[in-house]
């Protein structure tokens, strides 16, 4: 049997691990990955025995973001990134989410991880908000969550330049997350999850709801602004050329 694209596994009492493992597509946002993640978080949110989620990828990939086909659809106006909401899954999950980003986080894949309550990066892996590489402005709440999590200066640099950064470089730049060797990311995530799982679920849910309330409240306005910027920047002929020429490089 083939492994599921998204595997949900109970590790210990109260601790659930969600693993993205679409090896064929390197964890890009295919319909299969989107559907699997959406269903997984819906199920976990409804379970009363879950206290913390570890979200991770496989081998050297966390998530590679949008597919080339998806970017073409956005260019042609067939869809908006809000049609398939991955960015707020972790934010809206009632229990704490740890993004164990052991592998590369690219574009929307990187942003998705930043919406988690806790983030752990790998020294060897690449992280990038590379939307402008293709000539269009960032989406998925990037312009909101990246300054919140990384600081205005680094977030602005990442988005404007579309540069790639190794985890080790981000560590030197002072990101407020643990950055460890790739083979230690899940180990550290589990240690943190155990600390969280010691607490009553109701208390975890109550405190998370309080802590992320300002983020949930402010996000909608940024999403509207990003959609408006997409309407201005996405339909340039140069963007289509860049999607065809640069995707995956």
Give whole-number Cα distances, 124 to 27, 119, 183, 248, in Å. Answer: 18, 15, 10, 19
Strands across the sheet containing 104-106: 61-63, 104-106, 126-128, 164-166
Phi-psi region of 188 (alpha: psi -120 to 50; beta: other; left: phi over 0): alpha
- Kindly state the helix (H) or strand (E) to which residue 52 belongs, with its residue range: strand 52-56
Catalytic residues: 230
Which has the closest alpha carbon to 23: 37, 2, 41, 44? 2
H helices of 151-184, in order, are: 152-161, 167-172
């Amino acid at each position: 049997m083939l492994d599921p694209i998204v595997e949900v596994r109970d590790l210990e009492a109260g601790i659930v691990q969600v693993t993205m493992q679409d090896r064929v597509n390197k964890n890009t946002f295919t319909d299969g990955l989107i559907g699997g993640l959406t269903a997984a978080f819906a199920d976990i949110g409804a379970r009363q025995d879950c206290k913390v989620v570890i979200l991770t990828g496989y081998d050297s990939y966390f998530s590679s973001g949008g597919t080339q086909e998806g970017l073409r659809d956005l260019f042609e106006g067939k869809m908006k990134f809000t049609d398939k909401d991955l960015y707020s899954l972790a934010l809206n999950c009632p229990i704490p989410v740890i993004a164990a980003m052991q592998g590369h986080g690219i574009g929307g894949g990187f942003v998705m991880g930043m919406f988690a309550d806790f983030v752990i990066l790998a020294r060897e892996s690449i992280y990038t908000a590379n939307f402008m590489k293709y000539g269009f402005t960032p989406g998925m709440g990037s312009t909101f969550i990246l300054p919140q999590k990384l600081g205005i200066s680094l977030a602005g640099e990442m988005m404007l330049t579309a540069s790639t950064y190794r985890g080790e470089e981000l560590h030197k730049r002072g990101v407020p997350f643990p950055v460890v060797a790739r083979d230690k990311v899940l180990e550290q995530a589990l240690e943190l999850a155990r600390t969280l799982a010691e607490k009553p679920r109701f208390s975890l849910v109550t405190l998370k709801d309080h802590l992320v309330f300002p983020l949930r409240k402010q996000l909608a306005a940024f999403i509207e602004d990003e959609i408006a910027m997409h309407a201005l920047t996405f339909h340039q002929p140069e963007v289509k050329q860049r999607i065809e020429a640069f995707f995956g490089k």
